[in-house]
Structure 1
Amino acid sequence: MFEKVLIANRGEIALRIHRACREMGIRTVAVHSTADAEAMNVRLADESVCIGPPASRDSYLNMAAIISAATITGADAIHPGIGFLSENAAFAQMVEEHGITFIGPSPEHLIMMGDKVQAKDAAKRFGIPVVPGSDGEITGEAEAKRIAGETGYPVLIKAAAGGGGKGMRVATSEADLMAAYTMARTEAKASFGNDAVYMEKYLSHPRHIEIQIIGDSHGNVVHLGERDCSLQRRHQKVLEEAPSPALNAEQRARIGKIAADAMRSMGYKSVGTIEFLFQDGEFYFIEMNTRLQIEHPVTEMITGIDLVREQIRVASGAPLSFTQDDVVINGHAFECRINAEDPETFMPSPGRVTDFHAAGGLGVRVDSALYSGYRVPPNYDSLIAKLVVHGRTRNEALMRLRRALEEMVIGGIKTNIPLHSRLIAAPDFINGAYDIRWLEKFVAGEI
């Protein structure tokens, strides 16, 4: 097992990883920008190293600074967390070349799944169902028209190197196909430095279902059920639940086995999430996230398995501590992403936290690095806390979530807690009758 792990991230996920390490008897190193000098994970780590100014490109994306910090502190592993360099194959390769273990998949798998065209091709090879569309990058306008005609309108044009909803455009007919194609390429180039795009059939009312998997270096791969991430705004997840109210036991077992078998064939090692659109009883592969997910706590709540601990274990060469037969789905869980933003306009709301009280009680978990007096910097993602609840049934968990939101206090800045309270009181949500476009309509007052 590792003696010292450098955590190359910030905020609640850095604190989450620190806690797992401490429970395993592993010392930690926190790296931080000047804006995060007073962060909770920096205060609690055994050692800390400042790696640059507030801008991410000069700190949390500065590979050389992070490698140097690991070298001077004697860290024998680096956990990249979520975002930043967590899916960067060049960084993973650099870490390994310096004799340090990267707590994540191999660079080869990061490359394969980091490009959406390659990922879709790999999904087909390994027996994962995919959305009808182009076999790879669209090379010109003529090809775009041909594929759209074969697939049938509407179609979705997506950036091959994309994420977060950038570089995505819908075309409902041939008349607006070229405009959508050009705009998607332009946005993809600006956002990712790569204007490659591909095309998929546009599904009108899908759910967003993702399967959590984990594999080790001994050929073992298991799945831990699904999460429903359909509640999204501008392609950003807002609230997740597990298991999905839209799936039955047969569908759950079928897609879980497909995902685990595919990753076993691929030789995948570490945690990962395979994301699908689900409509009319069918699953369609979207992408794979080769890292820990923000919403991993809902899976932990319903399985009792510590995913971060297991991720660290398999990175050290240990086999999984459980088999597929050991995975039992128990009850129901929700996660609310609490952001520092105006609940009406969704504008960021950085600033000093004057009061902080985390909700508590049976089945309630709050993952947050906030404390009274902490100043939320304006330089990073607005996620500041995750409120996670568990109950024996979906209704029990929902009632517990309602109560926990009432208890949660974050003063001095605006948060989206009021939005969550409104959201979970909506009849469609209570009945589990929503899809990936429902929240946009709800926010707009259309439903």
Structure 2
Amino acid sequence: MAQILAPSMQWQMKIMKNSTIASPLTAKMWNSLVLNPKRKGMARSTKFRVYAVKSDNGTINRMEDLLNLDVTPYTDKIIAEYIWIGGTGIDVRSKSRTISKPVEHPSELPKWNYDGSSTGQAPGEDSEVILYPQAIFKDPFRGGKNILVICDAYTPAGEPIPTNKRHRAAQIFSNEKVISEVPWFGIEQEYTLLQTNVKWPLGWPVGGYPGPQGPYYCAAGADKSFGRDISDAHYKACLYAGINISGTNGEVMPGQWEYQVGPSVGIEAGDHVWCSRYLLERITEQAGVVLSLDPKPIEGDWNGAGCHTNFSTKSMREEGGFDVIKKAILNMSLRHQDHISAYGEGNERRLTGKHETADINSFSWGVANRGCSVRVGRDTEKEGKGYLEDRRPASNMDPYVVTALLAETTLLWEPTLEAEALAAQKLALKV
């Protein structure tokens, strides 16, 4: 009988019915079967596992062994997975190439090209787009010295293509004034897990709704927590890769999760968030679950999904920093529409003034107030220094855009004295 990849219980039953021996094969089981072919044993069944089927001539499917094969004793070559952002500005694309030896810095990697007409980033008659390696992470899927490579995209003439937001962010973060302020970012990425065929949240009855929000946030239990294995697998994959992930939790809406990246300095924040999103896409792919970064995946009395961005500068973290934070908030209020227009598609469905959000059309701030545009923590107020939390960015925001805009607005942009005085009066700020 032919070897079968069994993604469901129905396939498992079919294999068992039509074959004499059918059991999931792990690397350890392979060795035990070869050493002791008469030994009988069944391993724990999981939903997505390569099944070994003994055929008439005794051949065994060794796909799992090959996937886990360590090639380092046999070659110095490694596999580099080049990752870039596609034409929608939120989709991640990737392809692999062999590198002759392990590398430690992106400058050691060659540039590469791809077909931009297939990603919505170039016309068919001039489709070549060039990838520039920018950041390296360890590959948790292939292991060994294999790597993931975050790239940005350019025309053959060396101009950044329109969807390359990293280029502009790198310019802002290389400004001497910005560098001297050592901008820290902590980004809270919320996401929703959907059932594959129906695109309905994981754990929800198909075509129906679970009980109202309340019992699900940071909860445990089969009736309250849906997708914990995916969250945990992603957590460990990020740690392995070298992503500065700092925590994770179940969110208010069932089937929704969050993880935090940071504190990260400057352009590193965007690199780490994009790589973490790639890992999450790969893990949900393997689990047979759909990842959604829609800011309001379910209409009605359900929380949306944001990407709250915590931000501080050296001056904010030092004595007298609270006055610096208030000045930053003042600048942010004056550029509210500029920020909103760059904070994610569909964000108007989320920023309604309900479900722990501020209304999209107005700017507000407060201490410990999750219904404001910008929140300042109680500890920051008490200590007179710390950070602010911009609660406006949507879950599908581009971290390069958001972090660069925050740095630009608070460190490089200067309002007129009249505008500053008016905004201070409106927000009751004394700076």
TM over 0.5: no
Which TM-score bucket, shorter chain as reference?
Answer: under 0.3
TM-score (norm. length: structure 1): 0.27
Q: Which protein is richer in helix relative to its size?
A: 1
TM-score (norm. length: structure 2): 0.27
Higher Cα radius of gyration = 2
